Structure 1
Amino acid sequence: MSQPALLAPMRLATTIRPYDWGSVTALPELFGAEPTGQPQAELWMGAHPGAPSIAGGTPLDRLIAADPAGTLGERAVARFGPALPYLLKVLAVARPLSLQVHPSTEQARAGFADETARGIPLDDFARTYKDASHKPEMVCAVTPFHGLCGFRSPAATAALLGRLGVPGLRPWIDTLRTAEPGEALRVVFAEMLDDAARPLRQEAERALAGTDDPGLAVYADIARACPGDRGVAAALLLNHVNLLPGEALYLGAGVPHAYLGGIGVEIMANSDNVLRCGLTTKHIDVPELMRVVDFTPGEPHLVRAEPGARGEHHYRPPAPEFALSRHDLDGEISHELPGGQPQIMVCIEGEARLGADGLTLRPGESAFIPASAFATRLGGKGTVYRALPGS
């Protein structure tokens, strides 16, 4: 078998998505750019067909398709097929994202096949499954970052709802206190999303708007940001998690979540499958949602950084498609990045130098290192995140 030609690291031209939940100023301030006056929510780096990065004038997905072995490496092609298995983003969250879950691989395959067989176009408003893949994801905080993640214990949620002082919530409170935990959450979650519960949701929303209870403050903020949305009530069932810079949160299949504020580096499987529960004007398929949501209560899944060589911190979530490393460069040390796998680097702060030719990355700039590249030196002074397939 012939060996792939050696390819050098390539600078990427990338896209920033202007979703309405994004910050107008956060990414411009982080990257030293002028604000556009519009929200700047997500900087995308990867080969997702929705917004592929450009390398040497060619979209990265086309570059990979032309030479899968050289760009991805034979191991990655054998594991994931001829496509980059992950998508890297920088998020700037100024208001709540939609409350959402992602399907398992089996659910995604079945859902995609079903909707395709029924002739629902991929760009149809009512289309749920855009591909046949799961979408685990991890976010690593660059600034203090917070969100909702997974179901709180039913007993703790019953106590929280009781503090709202809304008599109509008593049936939900009783269910949460007396039923088996998973079944209690399933019943209350479904009833909260039902149109028949709108008057009760409105009562809860008014109570939130008038509360000064610090334990309810984050949910009151959601109520003010998304008035009249069915997801405001459902959000009360979820854990609130705060991440300090450098801390990371992993989200597996079926875990309901919503990011609420801060800047973070996010990495995920290269999929676009999202089932929304609320805090959105987009399509919500409640029956399918109920089949996908994991109603097991528990604490958020934090991923601890594993120290490597000086200035290296490695995040290894339980997903085969991706891992993430943070390199804190002090101007004196350099890191040798192993070859043999497709990697994307993004500079968040300072300046990084990559490879023998000294490719320089400044804040907001990124590069793709093909699998066939020689081991690459990384130096400079600043902070860089590196994405690669999982082990």
Structure 2
Amino acid sequence: MSVQLLRGVVQHYEWGDQQAIPNFLHTEADARPWAELWFGTHRSGPSLVKTPSGSQPLSIYAGELSFLVKIIAAAKPLSLQTHPTDEQAASGYQQENEIGISLDSPLRIYRDSSAKPELLIALTPFEAICGFRPIDETLELCTRFGWTELASHLREDGLAECVRWALTTGPHQLPTQLPAWAGRLATMYPGNGGVLVALLMHHVKLAPGQALFLGAGNAHAYLGGTGLEVMSASDNVVRAAFTRKNVNVDEFLAVAAIAPIDSPVIAPSETTTGVWQYPVSTPRFGAQRIEVIGTHQIKATHHAEIVICTSGDAGALTHGQACILREGETLSLTGEATLFRTWGTH
């Protein structure tokens, strides 16, 4: 079969890197921030399938997809945010419809009725804050760095009330002794309680190939780097800080899972030679990393699969290209390359 290449949609958000995605696409940078490159059928950025006579919408070729794949390139921190459960999304979507907030309004939080679990796989060194650190570990850091006010609230009120205090009062006198990553946030957002919340969270540095799984309620903010995201095709984001977009602290506090978790970093396991499976605690999507050395064949076992080449040349796909496979179709690869195979429920 001929390879059905995809044309993705670029999103020029202000936090985007100016070089990473143009380099990925082998096109010239234009001084704008290139934040995300979308592959899927989401209404905010529907992909096209390239054909000999031009192109056609991916939704016509493969139907509406339940998943969305992005290349993300962050030069600046993204918002402190979380995503709802299905039940929270359905309720919020209905309420915002009833009060007449249009789907395109910047005040809109719930743009659909679905949860938005996400998998972020680092393509370069990638920095983020993700989930809340065990309280005793944070108290040790408070002692080491002299974060006395934060320690007092955490010790006396508990984690959830400490987060509430940080986000609903202020401006704050932020600590002066901060790790470099938190110091950058404090410089960008002076007095912002989101910086105090960030100090309660896991700070992670992903090596290429490592990943984060972000389930419903997980609080997180990407700080910098280039990665590949796989997610449900939803656009429900509840923001609390670090952005000019709509912030709704009350909704964030209602949706976020404010409880300690272990390290959020996940690593793939090699299922067959050169094929690495990422563990995700959702049936809504999946992802593999495929290291091609010589020959390799992919046979689609799901309704639709998106395959992206992130480095090298595998013949049918080269660096910066993506294609769509429908169930039963095969993709024969030859060369040396890294590819990611992704899929959803439909």
Name the TM-score, length of structure 2 as normaliser: 0.92
2:32 aligns with one of 30, 34, 38:
38
> Quick check: 1:352–1:382 contact (8 Å CA) kept in 2?
yes
Partner Cα distance (1:319, 1:334) in 2:
27
Which aligned pairs between 1:167-316 and structure 2 lie closer than 5 A? 169=149, 172-179=150-157, 184-194=158-168, 196-198=169-171, 201=172, 203-204=173-174, 207-208=175-176, 211=177, 216-316=179-279
Aligned partner of 1:356 in structure 2 is none
Deviation at 1:297, TM superposition (A): 0.5
> Quick check: 2:131–2:220 contact (8 Å CA) kept in 1?
yes
Deviation at 1:15, TM superposition (A): 1.3
2:57 corresponds to 1:59? yes
> Quick check: 1:101–1:255 contact (8 Å CA) kept in 2?
yes
Deviation at 1:160, TM superposition (A): 2.9
Let me know the Cα RMSD of the aligned residues.
2.1
Aligned partner of 1:153 in structure 2 is 134
Partner Cα distance (1:118, 1:143) in 2:
43
Which SS does the other structure have where 1:107 is aligned? helix
> Quick check: 1:8–1:369 contact (8 Å CA) kept in 2?
no
Partner Cα distance (2:219, 2:302) in 1:
35
How many residues end up aligned between the 2 structures? 342
Deviation at 1:28, TM superposition (A): 3.0
Aligned partner of 1:74 in structure 2 is none
Instruction: Kindly name which structure, 1 or 2, has the bigger radius of gyration based on alpha carbons.
Output: 1
Q: Would you tell me which structure has more helix in proportion to its own residues?
A: 1
2:314 aligns with one of 335, 348, 352:
352
> Quick check: 2:302–2:344 contact (8 Å CA) kept in 1?
no
Partner Cα distance (1:381, 1:225) in 2:
42
Partner Cα distance (2:272, 2:136) in 1:
44
2:340 corresponds to 1:385? yes
Partner Cα distance (1:311, 1:226) in 2:
43
Aligned partner of 1:361 in structure 2 is 317
Deviation at 1:92, TM superposition (A): 1.1
Deviation at 1:220, TM superposition (A): 0.8
Percent identical: 34
Deviation at 1:368, TM superposition (A): 0.7
2:315 corresponds to 1:337? no
> Quick check: 2:131–2:201 contact (8 Å CA) kept in 1?
yes
Q: Cα 1:58–1:326, aligned 2, differ >3 Å: closer, same or farther?
A: same
Partner Cα distance (2:200, 2:147) in 1:
16
Partner Cα distance (2:345, 2:195) in 1:
35
Give 5+ residue unaligned stretches, structure 1: 1-6, 66-82, 354-359
Which aligned pairs between 1:19-38 and structure 2 lie closer than 5 A? 19-38=13-32
Which SS does the other structure have where 2:341 is aligned? strand
Give 5+ residue unaligned stretches, structure 2: none
Deviation at 1:283, TM superposition (A): 1.2
Partner Cα distance (1:272, 1:222) in 2:
25
Aligned partner of 1:76 in structure 2 is none
Which AA in structure 1 matches 2:333? L
Q: Cα 1:267–1:30, aligned 2, differ >3 Å: closer, same or farther?
A: same
Q: Cα 1:284–1:370, aligned 2, differ >3 Å: closer, same or farther?
A: same
Which AA in structure 2 matches 1:85? S
Deviation at 1:189, TM superposition (A): 0.9
> Quick check: 1:96–1:225 contact (8 Å CA) kept in 2?
no
Which SS does the other structure have where 1:197 is aligned? coil
Which aligned pairs between 1:54-203 and structure 2 lie closer than 5 A? 54-55=48-49, 56=51, 57-65=55-63, 83-165=64-146, 169=149, 172-179=150-157, 184-194=158-168, 196-198=169-171, 201=172, 203=173
Deviation at 1:163, TM superposition (A): 4.6
> Quick check: 1:343–1:386 contact (8 Å CA) kept in 2?
yes
Which SS does the other structure have where 1:58 is aligned? strand
